[in-house]
Amino acid sequence: MKLSVFKAMKELTFLWRRQFPQTLNVRILKLWNPAVCPVSSYVHSITRQFLKEGERRFPKPDHGTRRLRGFRFLVLLFAFLILGSLSNISFAQKDLGVPVREAVCWGTFVGPGKTGAPDTIYLSFGQYEAPLFLLAVNPDTGQMRQFNGPLSTEMGSWGFTMDHENRIYLGSYYNAHLLRFDPKTEKWEDLGQPAGESESFICRITTARDGKIWGGTYPSAKLFSYDPKTGVIENFGRMDPEQFYCYPTAGDDGLIYCAIQFEKMDIVVFDPEKKTRTSLIPPESRKPGRINLIKGKDGKIYFKLSTSDPWFQIEGERLIEIAKSDIPFPQSGLPDGRTFSLIDGSPLRIENPLTKEKKEIPLRYDAAGSFIFVVGMGPDRRVYGSSMLPLRLFAYDPRSNSTVNLGKASHATGEVYSMGALDGKLYLCSYPEARLSVYDPNKPLRFGDNEDANPRDLGPMGGGLYRPRAMVTGPHGNVYIGGYPDYGLLGGAISVYDPKKNEKRVYRHIIQNQSIASLAYFDELDLIAAGGSVRGGTGTRAVEKEAKLILWDPKEEKKVFEVVPVPEVKTILSLAVAVNGMLYGITDNEKIFVFDPEKKEVRKILDLGFKAPGEVSLQLGPDLRLYGLAKEAIFFIDSRNDQVSFIAKPPVPIHSGMAMLGRKIYFGSGANLWEFEIPLEPSNPVEKKCFHPLSILGLIITPSK
């Protein structure tokens, strides 16, 4: 191997680098790489021009060669100084900030103020990667105070109750802690995990006649009690051997009535003295659905099943049908009779039912950013996305580098699950109920469900579709949505919306007992590919073993082919059609499959090579390669040779995707929107050949052939 006389200079350069922290060294190396840094690419081109000019001016092999080498040395120093001064700039990835800073309100309650009188309205808020908090509002003055919870891991609460000493209890998620807030001292206490470390949510908490606090949990449907007098916690274990959710209500008869949700509904009566469990619904009658179970003002327990219309009263082990009008429903409101409600997250409206006087109090609180659930491209070359809990639509304009929170886009309370552009409009489908909305960027912003609203809520898709995970727009002028079913159900659906006729059609069990997790469209064949998932609605267990891929005819609206593309796969996360007409799919077991739609066969199965690939995060790029996202990787697939190439590891984990505009990829990480610019590369997109400044200057010599 022939080495340049400047090898010593190269070694000196790298010895100099060792004096700096590792992060800066990595940044310097990236800046020297023209495939990562556009400025480096520009300096490379200047360097080459300088060297050509030097070769022209000093052609003689004697003293001219030495002068040329000296010239190379000066160019090296010049380039290194420029790139070193830019070491704090990232040219490929950019944090675009937090689009939505709002919290989700899980409930409003009347509770004691500092004096102990029930004169305060409490709002229980949850937020992402920040503690839950209570907002205490004085209904007369509008004064409010925010009390942040004691644990950053406990981000929200589904339960709220009070003990006999007017202290407030919350049952939290995601680690199922029981928290107590004392309005007199304005201090929090963490009472621990009463159902154990296995639980994630406390579904509901209730106060019994003797003052004990009872709670039920997810995912083990456990029941626990806490005695405020003694501080003793008792964990009574599962109330159902198979189901996930337990929602308890304490009756005035000393019994605890547990609503078991969602796959096989049941009501389990727990006797604290005898430690016995009694199931009230026969096994053959236990069906998927919800139970609405309440304690009336008379202290008795009433319930209704979502699968039937009648209400029932529980008397011992008997279920007595009762007219809804005869049930003394509990009333929520202030002691003087005034009622209150929260309007679209803010403001708080207070109304006197006698005088009809109304007052609105705008809410003011400090909140962390809202988690970004999905990102997509709009019809106006803007990047759109949805926050999760609360559902808010936002838009980022790359031309002005500005982000705007557009507010509500659906009557759904969760998040937008899928979106797509069609005829200058943006269609959105949201959880729960797979509610469809349409937004026209060229019209004034005014959310609602009437004809001139924008965004306009078009209502649920129906047919049991609940979590609308994927969308394809365009074929036959329609919107196609695939997703997961309602709680407790198996078998997702493909649904069709015809904008011209304003018609909806839903096709359940397209894949028996499987949901639809991803969609793609073959333009030349006029077929839709749908990737399945063995997972069903929340609260269910899978019965199928392997996810299937189907071809669906959008003209006839029927399935025409079905296959298991990858053995043992549970979910086909993403689908995309390559420029060669082949379908590429990414699975949850980190495989890539290549499917030939004409021959209807799987041509190849590859290892992806990256952990935790994203959902609906594979798209055709501007250079006709497929770009995809994993939690810690941005990659591409070249359909000419099925080569998977790593592009970059993002500085933050990728949680949601995916939008592409030109050479830029947009994704969500937590509450932040990020932009990644695909590096400029040589003309051959498969074999990456990039010049390096040191090689140009003769400091790196490859073996001679």
Reported as a single tens digit per residue, the pLDDT across 622-653 is 999 999 999 999 999 999 999 999 999 999 99
471-513 tens-digit pLDDT: 999 999 999 999 999 999 999 999 999 999 999 999 999 999 9
Q: Is the pLDDT of residue 691 over 80?
A: no
pLDDT of residue 392: 97
Task: Count the neighbouring beta carbons within 10 Å of the beta carbon of residue 357.
Answer: 10
688 confidence band (pLDDT: 50, 70, 90): very low
Distance, in Å, from the CA atom of 477 to the CA atom of 424, rounded to the nearest integer, reads 12
Helix (H) or strand (E) holding 49: helix 38-57
More confident call, 696 vs 617 = 617
Helix (H, G, I), strand (E, B) or coil at 40: helix
Q: What is the pLDDT of residue 293?
A: 97
Identify the CA nearest to 268 among candidates 238, 292, 310. Answer: 238
Exposure on the CB side of residue 533, measured as CA atoms within 13 A: 32
What is the rounded CA–CA span in Å between residue 391 and residue 592?
32
What local confidence, expressed as pLDDT, does residue 69 receive?
52
- Write phi, then psi, for 460 (nearest 5 degrees): -70, 150
Nearest of 128, 195, 104 to residue 671 by alpha carbon: 128
For all residues of the chain together, what is the average pLDDT? 87
Query: Cβ neighbours of residue 625 under 8 Å, at least 6 residues apart?
Result: 636, 637, 638, 639, 685
pLDDT average, residue stretch 264-278: 97
Contact 484, 515 (CB under 8 A): yes
Flag whether pLDDT at 58 surpasses 60. Answer: no
What pLDDT is stored for residue 90 in this prediction?
40
CB atoms within 10 A of CB 317: 9
pLDDT score for 439: 98
Q: Pull the structure tokens for residue 3.
A: 């080495």
pLDDT score at 1: 37
Residues 454-459 have a mean pLDDT of 98
For 560, the 3-state DSSP assignment is: strand
**For residue 72, what pLDDT is reported?**
52
676 token code pair: 């990644």
Residue 449 — very low, low, confident or very high, per pLDDT cuts 50/70/90?
Answer: very high
Mean pLDDT of 101-109: 94
User: Tell me, what amino acid is at 504?
Assistant: K
Which part of the chain has CATH 2.120.10.80? 372-677
The owner of tokens 């009501």 is 267
* Percentage of the chain exceeding pLDDT 90: 81
Q: How far apart are CA 618 and CA 615, in angstroms?
A: 8
pLDDT at 346: 76
Q: How many residues does the chain have?
A: 705
Q: What is the mean pLDDT of residues 508-535?
A: 97
Q: Of 39-53, 449-463, 496-510, which gets the smallest average pLDDT?
A: 39-53
Lowest mean pLDDT among 23-27, 369-373, 463-467, 572-576: 23-27
Higher pLDDT, 54 or 567: 567
Residue 48, phi then psi, degrees to nearest 5 = -60, -40
Q: How far apart are the first and last CA of the chain?
A: 9
Q: In terms of C-beta density within 10 A (0-12 exposed, 13-18 middle, 19 or more buried), how is residue 159 classed?
A: buried
Percent of residues, the chain, with pLDDT higher than 70? 83
Task: Domain 372-677: give its CATH architecture.
Answer: 6 Propeller (2.120)
The CA–CA distances, whole Å, from 144 to 113, 133, 155 equal 11, 13, 21
| Lowest mean pLDDT, pick from 28-42, 279-293, 485-499, 524-538 | 28-42
Q: What are the tens digits of pLDDT across the range 157-187?
A: 998 999 999 999 999 999 999 999 999 999 9
In whole angstroms, give the CA distance from residue 86 to residue 39.
Answer: 9
DSSP structure class, residue 355? T
Give residue 366's pLDDT band: very low, low, confident or very high (50, 70, 90).
very high
Look up residue 87 and give its amino acid.
S
Give pLDDT, residue 53.
Answer: 45
695, pLDDT greater than 90: no
As a whole number of angstroms, the distance between CA 412 and CA 519 comes to 23
